[in-house]
Amino acid sequence: MLDPQAKADQAGPERRQTPRPTRTRIGFDFSQSRSQMLIIAAIRVGFHLAILAIILGFQALQPEFVNIEVLLPVYLLMFVAFTINSAYLVFFERALYSWSVTAFLFFFEAAFITGLIHYTGVNQSIFLFLYLVNIILCGFVFQRRGANILAMWTSTLFSLLMITGPEIKGQALFFAVGLNNIAFFAVAGLAGYLSEQLDFMGRSLEAQGKDLRALRNLQSLIVENMSTGLLLIDAEGKVVTANRAAFEILDPIPRELTGRTLEEVLPGVSGGLTEAREAAAQQNSEERTVRFDLSYQSPMQGKLTLEVVGSALPLPHDRRGGLILTFQDLTRVRRLEFAMRQSEKMAAVGQLAAGIAHEIRNPLASMSGSLQLLDQTFKSAQEEDQRLMRIVLREIDRLNNLVTDFLDFARPDVVKADPVDLNLVLKDVLEMTKMNKTLRQDVELVVDLKSQQIIPGNRDKLKQAFLNIVINALQAMQGVAQPRLEIRTLDKADSGRSLVVVEIQDHGCGMDEVGLRRIFEPFHTTKDKGTGLGLAITHKIIESHMGRISVESSKGVGTTFTLEFPLREQGVDKLSLADSQRANEDFSKAFRGQKRSGNG
C-alpha cells in the first residue's frame, strides 16, 4: 500500500503543483461534500426565514400584544445571523477547506437560539427544538465527536439560561434542565452514529462505484481491442453497439453501424442464423449459440468469408430478447484449408499416378510398335483396315500423352531459381493464345500489369500454368455475347511478406459450389474432350513455386483466379533480354508442336 505522499508523487507534476487539503492535515475537508454543505446552509437559512416569518406574522395578527422594545433585540439577533450566514455563503468555496469556520457557525447557531429563547420567553418556547436540529446537523458534519461537543456547549448555554431566568424555580427547574440535557446528548449520540453509518455507506458505495467504473473501463478496453468483431442487436433487429474490429472487418459504407438493421450491416446473416438454428434443432441441441460461415462482400476488401457466432439474450417472462453477434475474417484460413485439402488430394493422386503410369506406358509402347510393323507388312490391306489401323495408332498416341501428363503431374518438380518477370510471361501467353485459332478471338482484353517485382522460378512452368488458366477462361466464354478477359498484376505486402499478385478474371459461365470445390481435382472436367489434368497441373506448379492460388466464381457471372507469389528475401536480378527471347521461342515451338485434344 502506498502512503498519501507516494500516491501524490505518482499522480504527476500537475497534481503536485495544486495540492488539495486532506483530513490528515486539518482534520476535516468538506470539499468532497460540497452539495451536502450547501444543503445544511440552506436548512439553516430556511429556519431563519421561518423564524422571521413567524415573528412578523405574530406582530401583524396580534399588534396589541406586541411590544416593539421586546422584539428589537430579536430583530438584531436575526440581522446578525443573516449577516454571518450571508458571509459564509459568499466565501463558501474557501470555507469548505476551513473546518473552524464551519464549527463556528454551529456554535454561533446555538448562541443565537439561546438569545432567541431568552428574548421570546423561556417557558413553553417554540424555538427549543432548534437546539436539536442544530445538533443533528452538526452530527452529520463532524460526526459523533463534534455532535457531543456541541451538545455540551448547548447544554451549558441552556442551563445558564434556565438558572438565570425567573420563570422556572425549584424542582421544576431541576427536571427541565436535566431532561433537556439528556435530550441534547441523546440526539448528539444518535446523530453521530447515523452520520458515521452514512459515511461508512458512502465510502463503501464510492469504493464499489470505483470498482464498477474500473470494471466498465476494462470491459470497454477488452471489447474495443479484441480482434473479433462484435455487434449487439436489440429486440427490433437493430445494431446497438459495435466495436472497432467490426468496423475494420466490415468496412461499412456509410461509416456507421449503430442504428442500422442487422440485414443492412451483414446481408444474408438472418438466413444463416435461421438455417443454423434449424440444424441445431434437428440435432436436438439445446445450446443458445449457433455458428456458421457467411460470405460478405466488403466495399474495400472484396469477398470475405466470415465465421459468425450468434448468441441469444434471453429475457424473463418469455419476452423477446436481443442478440450478441461475433464474427471474424477467416478468408485466409478457409483458403489455406482448401489448399491443404487440395494438396492431400494431389498427393494421393500423385502416388496413384506414379504407381500405374509406368505399367501402362510399357504395354502402350509394345502395342504401338506392333501396330506400326503390321501397317508396314500389310501394304495390300483394304482401305478400311488401314483407316482402323490409323485410328488405333492415334488413340494410342493420345493415351500415351495422357500417361505423360500423369508422370509430369506425379514427378516432384525441381524449381529453378531463374529471375522471372510475370508481366512478360503473361504477355507471351496472350500472344500464344492469338495463334491458337481454336480459341475465340473477339474477346475484349483488359490488361493492367502494374507489378514491378521479379520472382524466382521456372518461367516455362509458370507459362504453362498461366496458359492453362487463360485457355480455360477463353473456353468458358464461348457462348457469352460480350466476352471480356481481365488480367492484372500488382505488388502487395501481407504479414511482412512481399508478394506479386496475379488476377485473371473472365466474364463467362462461372461455376457452382460443387464445381468450385472440385476445380483442382485430377480428371474433373466440364468439357466433352478434356482430360481434367490442366488445372491440377497448374495447382501443382503454383505450389512448387511456394505460391498460393484461390478461385472465386459465381454461376452465370464469371470466375476469378488469384495467384500470389512470394519474393526471395535477397531479391532477384533482372533477366536479360536474350534469355527472355530464347525462352519465348523455345516455349512457342513446344506449344505449336503439342497435340491437345482438351485442356481440363
For 229-329, which CATH superfamily applies? PAS domain (3.30.450.20)
559 pLDDT band, cuts 50/70/90, is: very high
Cα–Cα distances (Å) from 104 to 107, 138, 425, in that order, read 5, 11, 97
Q: What is the pLDDT of residues 76-97, one digit of tens each?
A: 888 888 888 888 888 888 888 8
Mean pLDDT, residues 383-411 taken together: 72
Gap between the Cα atoms of 492 and 540, Å rounded: 23
- Who wins on pLDDT, 488 or 441? 488
pLDDT at 235 exceeding the cut of 70 = yes
The model's pTM:
0.42
* pLDDT tens digits along 481-512: 889 999 999 998 876 788 999 999 999 888 88
On whether the CB atoms of residues 397 and 369 are closer than 8 A, the answer is no
236, 440, 479, 516 from 473: Cα distances, Å = 46, 10, 12, 14
Lowest mean pLDDT segment, chosen from 37-41, 207-211, 465-469, 562-566: 37-41
User: pLDDT tens digits, residue range 512-539?
Assistant: 888 888 888 776 776 766 666 778 888 8
Q: Indicate whether 337 pLDDT > 50.
A: yes
CA distance 455 to 435: 27
pLDDT band at residue 19 under the 50/70/90 scheme:
very low
Share of the chain above pLDDT 70, in %: 75
Q: What is the pLDDT of residues 403-431, one digit of tens each?
A: 776 666 666 565 677 899 999 999 999 98
Give the pLDDT band (50/70/90) at residue 561.
very high
Three-class secondary structure of residue 210 per DSSP? helix
Residues with Cβ < 8 Å from 61, sequence gap 6 or more? none
- Grid cell of 275 as nine digits: 438455417
Tally of residues, the chain: 600
The whole-angstrom separation of Cα 256 and Cα 262 is: 12
Q: What does the pLDDT read at residue 504? A: 94
Confidence label for 355 from pLDDT (cuts 50, 70 and 90): low
Which residue is listed with cell 501402362? Answer: 360
Could you tell me the CA-to-CA distances from 361 to 235, 354, 401, 403 in Å, in that order? 69, 11, 10, 7
- Identify which has the larger pLDDT, 19 or 450: 450
Mean pLDDT of 188-212: 84
pLDDT at 270: 83
How many whole angstroms separate alpha carbon 169 and alpha carbon 296?
A: 97
In the chain, where are the structural domains located?
20-212, 229-329, 335-410, 418-593
For residues 158-179, give the mean pLDDT.
76
pLDDT confidence bin for 333, thresholds 50/70/90? confident
Say if residues 8 and 19 touch (Cβ distance below 8 Å): yes
- Least trusted range by pLDDT, from 219-233, 316-330, 372-386: 372-386
pLDDT of residue 356: 67
Q: Which of 561, 588, 566, 533 is nearest to 469 (CA)?
A: 561
Instruction: Please report the pLDDT score of residue 170 as a whole number.
Output: 67
DSSP annotation of 575 reads P
In angstroms, the CA 250 to CA 389 distance is 65
- Helix, strand, coil percentages (3-state) for the chain, rounded to 5, are 60, 15, 25
Three-class DSSP category at 533: coil
Fold agreement (229-329, 418-593): no
**What percent of the chain clears pLDDT 90, i.e. is strictly above it?**
9
Phi then psi for 266, rounded to 5 degrees? -125, 90
Give the lowest-confidence range in 192-206, 283-297, 522-536.
522-536
**Average pLDDT taken over every residue of the chain:** 77
Mean per-residue pLDDT for 257-286? 79
The pLDDT tens digits of the residues spanning 45-82 come to 888 888 888 878 777 777 666 666 767 888 888 888 88
The CATH-assigned architecture of domain 418-593 is: 2-Layer Sandwich (3.30)
Exposure letters 286-300 (e unless 16+ CB within 10 A, then b): eeeebebebebebee
pLDDT in tens, 104-145: 888 988 888 888 888 777 665 677 888 888 888 888 888 888
Strand, coil or helix: 523: coil
